[in-house]
Chains A and B, each alone.
Chain A
Amino acid sequence: MADQPPQPLDVIQRWMQSVIVHPAGVAAGIDSASHTGEIEQGADRVDELICRSRAQTSIERLEVYSNAYKARLIEVLIGEYPAFVHALGEEAFVGLASGYLEVHPPASYTLGELGRFFADYLLETRPPNESEDGSPDWADFLIDLARLERCYSEVFDGPGIEELPPLDAERFRHLSPEQWITCRLVAAPCLRLAAYRFPVHEYASAVRHQQEPESPIAQVTRLAIHRREYVVRRTTIDAIQFGLLTRLVEGASIGQALEQLIEANSQAVVTADELSAWFRDWAAAGFFIGLAT
């Protein structure tokens, strides 16, 4: 037991944390920390702070924490991004994830936040697209896959509609033409609209079903990602539906949304029957939870 006054607790905690998370390992972490001045002991004198055991040196004992720190967090990321890991390969993923964790170390009390910035990190560190025509490349595929898998996580554990009464699709049938134009829809809190450059949803589903999917060919893919009965669902939608839904989710009335859609795309032709069918389908799928006329 000690006969010297102890280092202040905050000093020893900052020191230990910096040592066990150091990317170059414990010994490098100790030496690096010794240069900050708070704790002067380098790796050769670390047993002045950390006791040896009968079987392990002080550094080996600290390495238990260091190894576990990285392994645990990467294990969580592998769990959140299974399709991404399948596409890239686990070995390469470990390297990529290690870099991510250095830039975005865990700060939240929940591991659910650990992967929040992964797609952003990929975007910031991606290699340049070298295709001659600028068409989406492998990196774009991986970034989109990461965006999709993060979206799944957020929709899965975020607010949903399970406790709410369903929006009766028949209500659309009884709206007068004026009401149609001016009414606004209240989007379900679990609805996400996202456009991808590849059919990443098919790839992700194949991986989750233990299949060995080929890397897909680029193809613009628009999805409505939502949740029903606590399971994440995704529905492929076309460009016109995507545009209309996006405007409605942003708060436009149906009339405004249609107007804006036609302004943006003069080729868009939607019949009243098509529109009516879409709204019924969207209500049945739980995209919307309310109707304000």
Chain B
Amino acid sequence: MMPIPRCGHPNLGLGVGLRTVHFPYLLQHQPEVDWFEVISENFMDSRGRPRDVLDQLAERYPIVMHGVSLSIGSTDPLNLDYLRKLKSLADAVQAKWVSDHVCWTGVASRNSHDLLPLPYHEQSLQHVVERIRIVQDVLQRQLVLENPSSYVTFTASTMSEAEFVARMAEEADCGLLLDVNNIYVSSINHDFDPFEYLDAIPAHRVVQFHLAGHTNLGTHLIDTHDSHVTDPVWELYRKAHLLTGGASTLLEWDAKIPPFPIVHAEVMKARDYMSSALGSYRSRPANDQLQANSTVPHPATAVFAEVE
């Protein structure tokens, strides 16, 4: 039987990550945006303005929920209270799907609020697959998981990240959120070919793409989400689009966030890379200059009070 593209999910088009600094603009202008992705943890407990804005936007735009604290790879027990809240929010805003990361965020009841990498071997694969199945049972929907950017690899690994992610998706029957910037960041940090990574991914499982900017520190790249998407990442996106036949594409911008029209314009550039002809980023000068500014990866964002 032919696999179903995007695990059966729709291609929502070009979306933007919802951030609080853009609330006033969005409510006032109601711009033509295909869809929004929200950080689940910023809304699942909110009974104030963030949740009110989300409810308003959910009436007009498709919403996808993207979490940063599921900690699917942790050896701590799954947090069922968290999962119930996640399900409740997903039901309330009619989320098109719910995603998180292939990572762990902490153990011993601690949350580092970072997306920590796993060693990739049979033991960790079975651990993650088993937990995905539990989460999917609780949420009563298929989970979508994102490849993380990472800064270390483990000597204990017996397979590449791409193989791990591919086997995980097939064995757990989950969707994939392919973060093209993360593939590029990790390919530089760990010295692998990002195009070979793409080739190893089961294309029909890719439900969504992420695009973002990163920071080049010379010795390594950091996934800072604080600038424009770089040329090599766009070229990877071009190939990913070709391999999958296209999927919902979202831009993340989490630090030094510019006005909404600039963020939206950035994701709209994706249309230029949806042609079938592959570029050749290796031969063209990349706009990936050395920087010495923000060096903090931004997997999570916080919400701060508005006071009269």
- Complex interface: chain B residues within 8 A of A10 (CB): 75, 107
- Complex interface: chain A residues within 8 A of B218 (CB): 55
Contact A157 B112 (CB under 8 A): no
- Complex interface: chain A residues within 8 A of B302 (CB): 76, 79-80, 111-112, 114
Assuming the contacts A109-B111, A158-B47, asked whether A65 and B151 have C-beta atoms less than 8 A apart, the reply is yes
Pick from B44, B106, B298: contact of A17, CB below 8 A.
Answer: B106
Q: How large is the interface on A (under 10, 10 to 19, 20 to 34, 35 or more residues)?
A: 35 or more
Contact B119 A230 (CB under 8 A): no
Contact A17 B107 (CB under 8 A): yes
Contact B152 A62 (CB under 8 A): yes
Q: Which of B153-161, B194-202, B203-211 contacts A (4 or more CB under 8 A)?
A: B153-161
Rounded to whole angstroms, the CA-CA distance of A233 and B48 in the bound complex is: 13
Q: How far is the CB of A79 from chain B (nearest CB, A)?
A: 5
Pick from B108, B155, B191, B222: contact of A2, CB below 8 A.
Answer: B155
- How would residues 280 to 298 of chain B score, 1 for a CB under 8 Å from any chain A CB and 0 otherwise? 0000000000000001111
Interface residues of A in 40-83 (CB under 8 A from B): 47-51, 53-56, 58, 60-62, 64-65, 67-69, 71-73, 75-76, 79-80
Assuming the contacts A14-B107, A49-B155, A73-B113, asked whether A232 and B45 have C-beta atoms less than 8 A apart, the reply is no
Q: How far is the CB of B212 from chain A (nearest CB, A)?
A: 16
- Complex interface: chain B residues within 8 A of A1 (CB): 157-159
Contact B112 A111 (CB under 8 A): no
- In the complex, residue of chain A having the shortest beta-carbon distance to the beta carbon of B153: A51
Main secondary structure of the interface of A (DSSP, over half): helix
Q: A204 contacts the other chain (Cβ, under 8 Å)?
A: yes
Q: A135 contacts the other chain (Cβ, under 8 Å)?
A: no
Rounded to whole angstroms, the CA-CA distance of A6 and B121 in the bound complex is: 8
Q: A227 contacts the other chain (Cβ, under 8 Å)?
A: yes
Q: How far is the CB of A73 from chain B (nearest CB, A)?
A: 7
Contact A69 B112 (CB under 8 A): yes
Q: B104 contacts the other chain (Cβ, under 8 Å)?
A: yes
Q: B134 contacts the other chain (Cβ, under 8 Å)?
A: no
Chain B interfacial residues counted at CB < 8 A: 62
Q: A254 contacts the other chain (Cβ, under 8 Å)?
A: no
Assuming the contacts A60-B219, A71-B296, asked whether A13 and B75 have C-beta atoms less than 8 A apart, the reply is yes
Q: How far is the CB of B107 from chain A (nearest CB, A)?
A: 5
Q: B28 contacts the other chain (Cβ, under 8 Å)?
A: no
Rounded to whole angstroms, the CA-CA distance of A20 and B124 in the bound complex is: 21
- How would residues 40 to 54 of chain B score, 1 for a CB under 8 Å from any chain A CB and 0 otherwise? 011011111110100
- How would residues 107 to 123 of chain B score, 1 for a CB under 8 Å from any chain A CB and 0 otherwise? 11111111010110101
In the complex, 30 of the A-B residue pairs with CB atoms within 8 angstroms, ordered by the A residue number, are: A1-B157, A1-B159, A2-B121, A2-B155, A6-B123, A7-B156, A9-B73, A13-B75, A13-B104, A14-B107, A49-B154, A49-B155, A53-B190, A54-B191, A61-B220, A67-B295, A68-B297, A69-B114, A71-B296, A79-B304, A106-B106, A106-B112, A111-B301, A112-B42, A114-B302, A156-B48, A158-B48, A231-B49, A234-B307, A234-B308
- A residues bordering B, Cβ < 8 Å? 1-2, 4, 6-10, 12-14, 16-17, 20-21, 47-51, 53-56, 58, 60-62, 64-65, 67-69, 71-73, 75-76, 79-80, 105-112, 114, 149, 152-153, 155-160, 162, 204-205, 208, 227, 230-234
